[in-house]
Amino acid sequence: MLGSLVAAFFLSDFPHNRATLLLLAPMLVSVAGTADTIRCIRKRWSLYHGGVIFCIYMDLMVVTMILVFLLYPYALWMTSGR
């Protein structure tokens, strides 16, 4: 999961925020990782269940950050004076 975030960070060339569709690869990997984490959840609450919920929230934050890297340059382009 964090590897996808690091890859997205370098692919987006973060300080310059370049728009690239190569960010879809880390996005798909992180969504697949989130689905795998959700698969590990149990029906009864326990400390293990709480840990899995914590990991799911971390996965969702990574997915959101990759979406920001993917969509932010397009939003900048749309709002600029062209």
At 17 the pLDDT is: 78
The Cα 59–Cα 78 span in angstroms is 29
Helix, strand and coil in the chain, % to nearest 5: 75, 0, 25
Indicate the pTM of the whole model.
0.82
The whole-number pLDDT of residue 67 equals: 92
Tell me the pLDDT tens digit for each residue of 15-30: 777 778 899 999 999 9
Which residues of the chain are modeled with pLDDT < 70?
77, 81-82
